[in-house]
Structure formats: C-alpha cells, structure tokens
Amino acid sequence: MTSLKTANVGIVGGGIRGGLFARAIQENPLGQLIAVCDPSPHARDTVASKHGVPGYPSVEEMLIAHPELTAAVIATPDFAHKEAAIACAAAGLDLMIEKPLATSTADAEAIIEAAAEGGARIMVGFENRWNPRFSAVRELLKSQDSGSVLNQIISLNDTIFVPTKMLSWAAKSSPAWFLMPHSLDLAMWLSGARPVSVHAVGVKRVLPALDVDTWDCISATFVMDDGSTAVLHSSWILPQTAPAVYDFRYEVQTSTDAFHIDVSNQGITHYSQDRVSWPQWGVTERAGRIGGVPIDMVNEFIDFVRGTVTTVPTATQGLIVTHAIEAVHRSLENGASVSLTTRESLLAPAPVS
C-alpha cells in the first residue's frame, strides 16, 4: 500500500488571502502550516504571530530553514507569482497558485517548466469551481436534456473601493487580470470548450483621474473552439453604495435551455437606516472553525498534495486563461481581434476536470 504524502505547507504572501489560507491549512487535520514569508515586516509578522509559525522575508530563506516543506501556497499579488512559484517548484514543492497563474504567457510557461523539472505539481486557485451554484449548473449541463452551450454572458465587477483602497498595486493590474480569470475559467469548465479568439473594448477615464493608471471597465467577446461564444464584462468603478463590494451575474444559454446565476446576492438583503446591502457569507465561522468556498478549495489542495485527489484546476488550464487574458489586453491596445492559437503548448489537449 502506498503511503500518503505529508502536506507540510508554506504560505508565500501575508496579505488578506495568505492569512485566510494560513488559517484554513492550520485548521485542516491533514495539513501542517510550517511557515509564512512576505517582504513586508508588518504582513509577515501579523500572519506568523497569529498562527504561531516562523516568518521569513524571502522564499529562499523559508526553503532553506524548512527542508520538510512539501507544498506551498502562492498568494502574492497577480504580477508577482513567477519568482516565488519557480523557487518553490525547483525545490519540488507542490503548488497552489492564486489565479491567474501569471500575468504573461511567458511567465506561466516558465512556472510550468520549473515544476516539470522539479517534479512539482500545480493547482491553480480558480475557487469558483467549488461554488455549489456553478457545480450544480455544470451537472445540469452534462445531462442529456440541457442542450449544447451556445453563449455565456458573464458580468463580474468590483466597487471602486477595490482598486483605490483595497489593492495598493491596482495600477499594475486591471479588471481583466483581477476578475476575468474567474469568468473565463468557469466558461471553460461549464462548457468543456476553450477560447480560440477574442475581441475586447474598454474605457480608461475614472481611475486614471485618481492616479490609478488602469482600465475602468473591459468587455471581451471570446469565440470558443466548439463555435460557442463567451462574453465577459468586468468593471472596477461600481459606486461604493452598491449592495456588495462585488457584483457577479452569470448567464448560460444552450440550444434548449437557459441558466441565470446571481452570485453576489447570496439570499440575504439587509435594510438598514442608511443603505441596502447584501451580507456576504462566502466564508463562515462556526465553533471556532471557518468554512466556505475558498476553504473548500484549500482543503482539496491538501488532499491533492497527499495524493488522494487529482481533479483540480491544472497548470495547463491556468496557462490557457493567462494566454487569453493577455490577448484581451493586446486587443484593447490594437482594436482588433486576437487569435489564441499560436503556441504549441496551448494547443495540447487540456481536458477540463
């Protein structure tokens, strides 16, 4: 009988997500939180002291100090995945990398190559695959009587709080990099198709005036390899008076049926004296333990590391998404459609698990 691999995990990135993942790992009886690293002393010390583990200013120092590590979670900003992921992969650590895998095709391919050379495996953090709403629709779409997917219309937006107050690095990102990887991965996962071309348009007006030099809103139309389309829209300038910090609406049209999924309104509307809001319970706490969609994702990563689960978002699927969102930005700049069938590695079969 083959023994299971030990899930000794290090966290790279001590921000909001890194702290959440650290707690999830520590509360999983099959995982062991070993250490955290972040160049920011405040972020590093906050997570390390809260969870009683050592903190390090660099990935290299963490790897040297802890040869017992078998896995790492890369929770750095979108544009800062490459170096941390390559260092951990070269050490043979299995990886959970926050979406997107990287913010360039070249970086994504470099991460995948390092993992292959180091014997590491990669899971990409497309957490909406663990949302029961989308899982239910996927099962219905796989049934014999739901028709074939013709079009998917996905609107995923944030209030202006996110790029102006929550993220210090918004100018190095965009609504497409921050939000569309969720949407495109779901479009691929639900339909089983992959994108072959994209045409995008957008507006830069509000955020640049606030010294955040990035796009306010972007709309991208993808043609998929089964002839269907996926229309993605993402904005970063919803007013802060919106009922929730994000707005997420998803529509699937098939040859016979239609599905509407409202994710941001989670079934509770709160009417207070000065506003109406949608309380969010994507992460819940009960009896001192947390649960919810991102926690389920982390728990499955622990199972993935130990070798008991393999149906997770793959590095190839992450590469396809990165290549596609990179093409969105090329289309924005040149005003023309962009083909996504240029790299041999992207043409290899990428079964959607």
Q: Where are the domains of the chain?
A: 7-120, 129-284+314-347
- Alpha carbon distance 288, 316 (integer Å): 37
Cis peptide before 349 (omega within 30 of 0): no
With a pLDDT cut of 70, the percent of the chain lying above it is: 96
DSSP bridge partners of 260: 251
Tokens of 338: 């962009």
Q: What pLDDT score was predicted for residue 344?
A: 46
Which residue, chain included where needed, has tokens 């290899």? Answer: 348
| Fold of domain 129-284+314-347 | Dihydrodipicolinate Reductase; domain 2 (3.30.360)
Longest CA–CA separation in the chain, Å: 62
75 within 8 A of 12, measured Cβ to Cβ: yes
Residue 282 amino acid letter: G
- Alpha carbon distance 210, 45 (integer Å): 31
Q: Average pLDDT of 143-171? A: 95
DSSP bridge partners of 122: 95
How confident is the model over 69-125, as pLDDT tens digits?
999 999 999 999 999 999 999 999 999 999 999 999 999 999 999 999 999 999 999
Taken in order 92, 98, 100, 102, the sign of the CA dihedral is negative
Q: Hey, is 253 helix, strand or coil?
A: strand
* Among 50-64, 205-219, 282-296, 324-338, the least confident range: 282-296
- Alpha carbon distance 121, 106 (integer Å): 18
Residue 102: is it exposed, middle or buried by C-beta count within 10 angstroms (0-12/13-18/19+)?
Answer: buried
Residue 182 amino acid letter: H
Q: What pLDDT score was predicted for residue 351?
A: 47
Q: Average pLDDT of 191-205? A: 97
Closest of 67, 57, 109 to residue 88, by C-alpha:
67
Quickly state the pLDDT bin for 1 (edges 50, 70, 90). Answer: very low
Quickly state the pLDDT bin for 145 (edges 50, 70, 90). Answer: confident
Closest of 235, 156, 146 to residue 191, by C-alpha:
146
How confident is the model over 259-288, as pLDDT tens digits?
999 999 888 999 998 899 998 888 888 898
Higher pLDDT residue, 254 or 346? 254
Tokens of 246: 């994000």
- Alpha helical stretches, state H, the chain: 16-27, 41-51, 59-65, 82-90, 105-118, 132-142, 161, 175-191, 206-209, 293-306, 315-334, 344-347
Please, what is the angle between helix 293-306 and helix 16-27, to 10°? 60
* CATH label, 7-120, candidates 3.40.50.620, 3.40.50.720, 3.40.50.12280, 1.10.260.40: 3.40.50.720
Q: What pLDDT score was predicted for residue 267?
A: 86
Would you mind telling me the total number of residues written for the chain in this entry? 353
Q: Which helix (H) or strand (E) holds 240?
A: none
- Alpha carbon distance 136, 126 (integer Å): 17
302-314 burial, b at 16+ Cβ within 10 Å, e below that, comes to bbbbbeeeeebbb
Q: What pLDDT score was predicted for residue 346?
A: 55
Question: Which residues, including other chains, have CB under 8 Å from residue 199's CB and lie 6 or more apart?
Answer: 220, 221, 331, 336, 337, 338
Residue 269 amino acid letter: T
Q: What pLDDT score was predicted for residue 174?
A: 98
Q: Hey, is 352 helix, strand or coil?
A: coil
Q: Hey, is 196 helix, strand or coil?
A: strand
Helix, strand, coil shares of the chain, percent, nearest 5, are 40, 25, 35
Tokens of 67: 């040869």
342 within 8 A of 315, measured Cβ to Cβ: no
